[in-house]
A and B are shown apart, each in its own frame.
Chain A
């Protein structure tokens, strides 16, 4: 039931006076720079309008001047909660353009990293849903775990949030024994914390009352609005890029695609929660099946050689120079590649004219596409539910504005 139904009108609608509220751009409850102008009838939202673009950085324009390997750090800054998925998605797009075959080991290593990134993405979102319903405890527990994942990233690539992880063709180095140990430690410790977190919220009366039936959307509307990822699956559509168009050997792993039924905040929470368990299982499988082999593909024209090689080996020096100075030939072509990002189908539409930089690069950013449904979803709900709807949709400002 929507909130407006429960309020009996005291004054006839034509004599009603509405108040306007600017929610954002900088409001602690919006978790980012979003502005929503709300037309309010008391505490009920009558109409809403979103204004976005506060952290627009013109990535598509920037990309037109950058060689392919320098676009990776740009992709970091889109969905910064799961930056490695963006990095690897971009690398795979370029590899598709070049027609590079990637060794199995690299694909499995990528799967591990991408699933770790998915876990961090989902756990932030779910922890924040908890905060917005007034439960701060779970948030603190979950952020400690995110810290452990960031330590794994740090061990692998040296960075934490904006990772710039991997290279076109694979990884800059193999995972160190320390990195493997950290992954194992995380796999051992995280399930207990996740279970505890579920105990805090899943059957919690207050949490259920605040989230069930709040910010719901039907499957038809969600599809029409271009929803993808957990938000679409919460509405009951089992579209997952990992299953439908498997990339990076996702077809080798056993996992289920959790779906909801109502498409409301509680279902979005539960779908993300279930996906974290699936991700853990995928990582376990990837580690158990990890094949031996090289940690990068044999593409000397695009894969930056290791520094010690550059200083001691003539060929590597030449390749290094050619890559950095942009003297390698790129095929002309038009390619679309998508991966299942934290928030849904993250697509890269790349047109190459054979030059050093892309002729045109367009990012299909899931947040940008589904956030436009927000005004429709909050219409008729209470102000505090609007906050909850936003955090459960996991709108990331960086991805929204690119």
Chain B
């Protein structure tokens, strides 16, 4: 990816949403922009319909839990299939009551991805047509991919994780 291309994209976004940008980085040549969560849908709509950007393919969407900051990030990855340009957008929400408007109005593909994110992280996507658990059983009372739910039984005493580099 040439840097001039990403610079052009950044400047277009800056013109419109400068106050929303929190952080810009490019880990492994993939443009990653962190935004404030309030206007994320407007931003994605802008990226979708802008004549030069045209990020019209939603590659994936997922949640990430940061227990130290008590935050849950939602990551959107978009792709412009014409120019083969990818972009990753991130927002950080409070882990106590994570809430963000739904993306299903723009991408039908977001429907199950958001349900999955709700299922595993408890992020409420307001306005979602059918926000319920998708992979786990419906009467589950917690959100399993959050870090406070350890994978193994923590009451075991016969095993010292420190000896195994964990």
Contact = CB atoms under 8 A, between A and B. Distances in A.
A372 B108 contact: yes
Residue from A62, A65, A221, A336 whose CB has the most chain B CB atoms within 10 Å:
A336
Contacts of B108: 221, 224-226, 372-373
Given A53-B134, A65-B151, A362 B112 contact: no
A189 to B, nearest CB: 37
B135 A65 contact: no
Contact of B151 (A53, A61, A239, A401): A61
A77 to B, nearest CB: 15
A39 interface: no
A62 to B, nearest CB: 7
B120 A60 contact: yes
Given A53-B136, A64-B151, A96-B28, A345 B144 contact: no
Contact of A62 (B112, B136, B151): B151
Contacts of A56: 135-136
Interface in A284-337: 325-327, 333-336
Contacts of B75: 349, 362
Nearest to A351: B64
A360 B88 CA distance: 16
A356 B28 contact: no
B10 interface: no
Interface in B123-166: 133-137, 144-145, 149, 151-152, 164-166
B17 interface: no
B138 to A, nearest CB: 10
A284 B7 CA distance: 42
A22 interface: no
Nearest to B27: A334
- Chain B: interface size category: 35 or more
Given A325-B165, A335-B27, A347-B60, A245 B84 contact: yes
A45 B111 CA distance: 22
B166 A65 contact: yes
Nearest to A345: B59
Contact of A237 (B64, B81, B144): B81
Contact of A58 (B30, B113, B116, B144): B144
A258 to B, nearest CB: 17
B109 interface: yes
Given A56-B135, A65-B152, A226 B77 contact: no
A270 to B, nearest CB: 22
Given A60-B145, A334-B28, A335-B27, A372 B60 contact: no
Contacts of A224: 107-109
A347 B59 contact: yes
A349 B84 contact: no
B45 to A, nearest CB: 14
A351 B109 CA distance: 23
Contacts of A373: 108
B62 interface: yes
A53 B135 contact: yes
B102 interface: no
B59 A372 contact: no
A364 interface: yes
B134 to A, nearest CB: 6
A326 B120 CA distance: 28
Contact of B112 (A347, A359, A364, A372): A372
A190 B134 CA distance: 40
B99 interface: no
Contacts of A61: 144-145, 149, 151
A159 interface: no
Given A326-B165, A349-B77, A336 B64 contact: no
A226 B109 contact: yes
Contacts of A161: none
17 contacts: A53-B133, A53-B136, A61-B151, A65-B152, A223-B56, A326-B164, A336-B30, A336-B88, A338-B59, A349-B77, A356-B165, A362-B60, A369-B109, A369-B112, A369-B113, A372-B109, A402-B135
Given A226-B109, A362-B75, A401-B135, 10 more contacts: A52-B134, A56-B136, A226-B58, A244-B84, A338-B59, A347-B59, A360-B65, A362-B60, A362-B62, A372-B109
Interface of A: 52-53, 56, 58, 60-62, 64-65, 96-97, 221, 223-226, 237, 239, 244-245, 325-327, 333-336, 338, 345, 347, 349, 351, 356-357, 359-360, 362, 364, 368-369, 371-373, 401-402
CB-CB nearest 4 A-B residue pairs: A226-B109, A326-B165, A53-B135, A364-B60
